Amino acid sequence: MANQVSRHLGVDGYPRPQDQDQKISQDLASTFNSPSGLATLQYLKSITIEAVSGPNISSDELRHLEGQRYLVALIAKRVQHAERIKHGRNIATDANGRNISTTSS
């Protein structure tokens, strides 16, 4: 067990080393924090998260839309995560999924 790498649950719920998880968030923030990136993210939100479907939507169409919504929300969550890292407020999780507050020095 001495060689076992400490893993935590990433922002997306997948276990990975914390430094890799932070890099993913920082890369996405770098991509979406420019004016055109923010406009793109707002457009994606407008056609997914903010879209309202009527009662006639099929189960398959709804599942497709929910998958799109999940991905757009995950991008936004990653950008927020990168901001917390930048300001020294990061929340990590242990192997049991419990939140552990960490601070950057």
Alpha carbon distances (Å) from 86 to 2, 5, 81, 90, 92: 31, 24, 9, 9, 14
Residue 16 near residue 25, CB atoms below 8 Å:
no
pLDDT over 80 (residue 99)? no
CB atoms within 10 A of CB 85: 19
The pLDDT of 77-104, averaged and rounded, is: 71
What does the pLDDT read at residue 55?
Answer: 93
What does the pLDDT read at residue 1?
Answer: 43
Give the residue, 61 or 100, on which the prediction is more confident.
Answer: 61
